[in-house]
Structure 1
Amino acid sequence: MAWLERLVLAGAGTLLLVSVAVPAAGTADAPAPRQRVVTMTRFMKIFSQHEYDLIDAVRSGNKGLLDRLLPEDFEQRNAASPGSPVPRDEWLKANDLQGAGTALITELAVHDRGELAIASFRLKLKERDFFIVDVWRHKGADTYELLTRYAAPVAAAPVAAPSGPNTKQ
């Protein structure tokens, strides 16, 4: 019977210790917010490769690869002049990708829409930073061709979102 009394007392002591520890934990600083871990999906891998292949093809002038990735009716639409598309040949001649230096793709997201895939990402070239949305058409297996690119420079400071339900004045 003495062992049972010791067990009960030991259990009570443990409960007391736990009850004392819980309030102490509540007064500690709040933990840091969790970092979002991005897992690369199959499509992210495919389109990351296609996007870097396109950059390399533009920089090296690899006509064969450019012909596989860009159809004749490819165009780029720029945020500064959305009503004036830049056709393929003009885009290849005067392109921000031409310059030397590192091209870095970050924040890639890919949306599979059957025959089309939409890839959006941030493209950093030297001191320039762009938000890109590319519309790719599925050609077979893991091959795609880039139909349209939408490009906008990323602002240095975030733009404030309009407030209220009706933003028209």
Structure 2
Amino acid sequence: MALAVAGAVLLIGTASAAEPASPPPRQRVVTMTRFVKVFNDLEYDLMDALRGGNKEAVDRLLAAEFEQRNAARPGEPVPREEWLKSGDLPIAADSEIWELAVHDRGDLAIASFRLKGKEREWFLVDVWRRKSANAYELVTRYASPIAAAATAAPAKPDPKR
């Protein structure tokens, strides 16, 4: 009996050793580019200026002709002054920027990102215009709220369909 148990242990140990070790899962290393750093800072600077009521900073960062386009009403742009007075500004102290991508288009830079707050989450696309070598102003914002269900991982497609 002991011989049978020892043989089984040896057989199981040999089978386990024969299986190739699976490689460790690859992890994506995300390196922040210079442009992502610049626009991450600009987006937070704008939120800080709005939250703190810093009119000078808001005027520096927000173009005079700024407008926001909302996904629910894309044909009704919200002009700068109306947007500044609205209670719908994403300026909560707990707001965080996620998944920021920036596309350089010469005099324009397009920043898209998720803005996560305690109560709401948005997908924003901001169009920034270059004012000088190191200065930009926000010209247009496209905003769409993200539903709570949309933040969960998408279901895998059914291969039978």
TM-score, normalised by the number of residues in structure 1: 0.74
Structure 1 residue 24: Cα displacement = 2.5
Question: Residue 62 of structure 2 aligns with which residue?
Answer: 70
Match of 1:93 among 47, 65, 85: 85
Match of 1:24 among 1, 4, 18: 18
Question: Residue 45 of structure 1 aligns with which residue?
Answer: 37
Match of 2:102 among 110, 117, 120: 110
Q: Deviations over 1:2-24 (max 9, x none)?
A: xxxxxxxxxxxxxxxxxx9xx82
Letter in 1 for 2:59: D
Question: Residue 123 of structure 2 aligns with which residue?
Answer: 131
Match of 2:143 among 148, 151, 155: 151
Letter in 2 for 1:67: D
* Higher gyration radius (CA): 1
Describe the shift of the 1:35–1:127 C-alpha distance in structure 2 as closer, same or farther (beyond 3 A): farther
Letter in 1 for 2:133: A
- Structure 2 unpaired stretches of 5+: 1-13, 156-161
The alignment partner of 1:84 has SS state of strand
Question: Residue 113 of structure 2 aligns with which residue?
Answer: 121
Structure 1 residue 43: Cα displacement = 0.4
Match of 2:72 among 73, 80, 83: 80
The alignment partner of 1:96 has SS state of coil
* Matches of 1:55 and 1:99, distance apart in 2: 5
The alignment partner of 1:72 has SS state of strand
Question: Residue 58 of structure 1 aligns with which residue?
Answer: 50
Structure 1 residue 90: Cα displacement = 0.8
Aligned pairs, number: 142
Runs of 4+ with >4 A deviation? none
Q: Deviations over 1:30-73 (max 9, x none)?
A: 44542221101110111001000000111111111111111111
Question: Residue 35 of structure 1 aligns with which residue?
Answer: 27
* Matches of 1:72 and 1:93, distance apart in 2: 15
Letter in 2 for 1:106: W
